[in-house]
C-alpha cells in the first residue's frame, strides 16, 4: 500500500484490465464465483485467483465461503460509485439521441449500478423528482427530501424514515457514466430501485446489468413522469 498516496494503490488495483473487468461484472450487486469472474475477465482460473486475492487484500472485494464454494462481492456502495464515476471520465460522451451498438442500447436505457437504478431512465426520473419537489440537491454530493418527498415515497411503499436510520448515506447524487448527469443513489436510491422491481415496472435480464422495462412500467413512467422508457 502506498502510504503517502493511497489513491495510487487503489488506482493500480482497478487499472489492471482483468481486475477492472471483474469489478464491472460485480456492479450488478450479486456475489459471483471465481469461475464466472475469470470468464468475464478472459483469464485462466489461476490468474483470476491471483487477481481476486489482490482485490480482496486491497479492500475492494470481500469473499463469502459457502461450503466448498467461494463467492466474491464488492465491499460497499462507495466502491461501486467510484467505478461508475471512473466510467464517466474515461468514456466518450454519447448523447442519448446518438446511435450506438444495438447490443449495448439496453445498458444506456436502464441498468443496475450496484443496488440502485442507473441509465437514461434513472437520470430522467431523478430530474422529474427534483422538478416536482420530491427531491432537492443538498450540497455537491447529496439529495434531501423536498416538500413532497416523504408523501411521494410513502405512496410508492418506501419508508424514508427507516432509510434515515441506515448506516449508509441517505440520498447520494451519483454521476451517471453514460448520461453525465446525476441519478439517485444511497439508501433511498436502493429502496426505490427495490420497489420498482417489486412493483413490476422493470425486471432484471439474465447475465447483464441491463434492465427490461415492462409494459406496465412503460405506462407508469410515461403517465407519471413523461419518460419514454424504451430504447
The confidence score (pLDDT) of residue 99 equals 47
**Would you say 224 and 121 are in contact if contact means Cβ atoms under 8 Å apart?**
no
The confidence score (pLDDT) of residue 126 equals 97
The confidence score (pLDDT) of residue 187 equals 93
Q: What is the mean pLDDT of the chain?
A: 87
Distances (CA, A) of 19 to 16, 28, 103, 145: 5, 16, 23, 37
Q: Which of 100-109, 173-182, 196-205, 207-216 has the lowest mean pLDDT?
A: 100-109
Residue 21 half-sphere exposure toward CB, CA atoms < 13 A: 14
Look-up of cell digits 443513489: 185
Interval 211-219 mean pLDDT: 94
The confidence score (pLDDT) of residue 101 equals 52
In the numeric block, which cell numbers belong to residue 12? 493500480
The confidence score (pLDDT) of residue 102 equals 54
Tell me the pLDDT tens digit for each residue of 159-182: 999 888 877 889 999 888 888 899
- Structural Rg of the chain based on CA atoms: 18
Identify the CA nearest to 14 among candidates 117, 89, 116, 100: 89
* Cβ neighbours of 77 (radius 10 Å): 22
**Between vectors from CA 49 to CA 48 and to CA 54, what angle results, nearest 5°?**
95
**Would you say 184 and 174 are in contact if contact means Cβ atoms under 8 Å apart?**
yes
The confidence score (pLDDT) of residue 3 equals 55
Residue 59 main-chain phi, psi, to 5 deg: 85, 10
Tell me the pLDDT tens digit for each residue of 63-105: 988 878 889 998 988 888 788 777 766 665 555 554 455 556 7
Identify the CA nearest to 82 among candidates 163, 164, 32, 7: 7
* Cβ neighbours of 158 (radius 10 Å): 17
Of all residues in the chain, what percent carry a pLDDT higher than 70? 90
Tell me the pLDDT tens digit for each residue of 111-139: 988 889 999 999 999 999 999 999 999 98
The confidence score (pLDDT) of residue 88 equals 66
Question: Distance between CA atoms of 29 and 32, rounded to whole angstroms?
Answer: 9
The most distant pair of C-alpha atoms in the chain lies apart, rounded to whole Å, by 55
What are the residue ranges spanned by the domains of the chain?
6-75, 78-225
Residue 1 reports pLDDT greater than 90: no
As a CATH number, domain 6-75 is 1.10.10.10
pTM for this entry = 0.70
- Return the bridge partners of 63, or none: 72
Q: 105 versus 143: which is more confidently predicted?
A: 143
Q: Which of 9-13, 42-46, 211-215 has the lowest mean pLDDT?
A: 9-13
The confidence score (pLDDT) of residue 11 equals 85
Interval 188-198 mean pLDDT: 95
Q: 85 versus 55: which is more confidently predicted?
A: 55
Residue 5 reports pLDDT greater than 90: no
Amino acid at each position: 500500500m502506498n502510504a503517502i498516496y493511497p489513491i495510487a494503490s487503489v488506482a493500480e488495483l482497478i487499472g489492471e484490465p482483468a481486475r477492472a473487468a471483474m469489478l464491472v461484472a460485480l456492479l450488478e450487486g450479486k456475489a459471483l464465483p471465481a469461475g464466472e469472474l475469470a470468464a468475464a475477465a478472459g483469464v485462466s482460473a489461476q490468474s483470476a485467483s491471483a487477481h481476486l486475492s489482490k482485490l480482496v487484500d486491497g479492500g475492494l472485494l470481500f469473499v463469502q465461503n459457502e461450503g466448498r464454494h467461494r463467492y466474491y462481492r464488492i465491499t460497499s456502495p462507495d466502491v461501486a460509485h467510484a467505478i461508475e464515476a471512473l466510467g464517466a471520465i474515461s468514456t466518450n460522451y454519447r448523447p442519448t439521441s446518438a446511435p450506438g451498438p444495438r447490443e449495448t442500447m439496453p445498458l444506456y436505457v436502464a441498468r443496475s449500478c450496484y443496488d440502485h437504478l442507473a441509465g437514461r431512465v434513472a437520470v430522467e426520473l431523478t430530474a422529474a423528482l427534483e422538478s416536482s419537489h420530491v427531491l432537492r440537491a443538498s450540497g455537491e454530493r447529496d439529495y434531501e427530501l423536498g416538500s413532497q418527498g416523504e408523501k411521494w415515497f410513502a405512496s410508492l411503499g418506501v419508508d424514508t424514515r427507516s432509510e434515515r436510520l441506515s448506516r449508509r448515506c441517505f440520498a447520494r447524487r451519483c454521476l451517471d457514466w453514460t448520461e453525465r448527469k446525476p441519478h439517485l443513489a444511497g439508501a433511498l436510491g436502493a429502496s426505490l430501485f427495490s420497489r420498482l422491481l417489486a412493483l413490476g415496472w422493470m425486471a432484471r435480464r439474465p447475465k447483464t446489468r441491463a434492465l427490461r422495462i415492462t409494459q406496465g412500467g412503460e405506462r407508469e413512467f410515461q403517465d407519471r413522469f413523461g419518460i419514454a422508457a424504451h430504447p
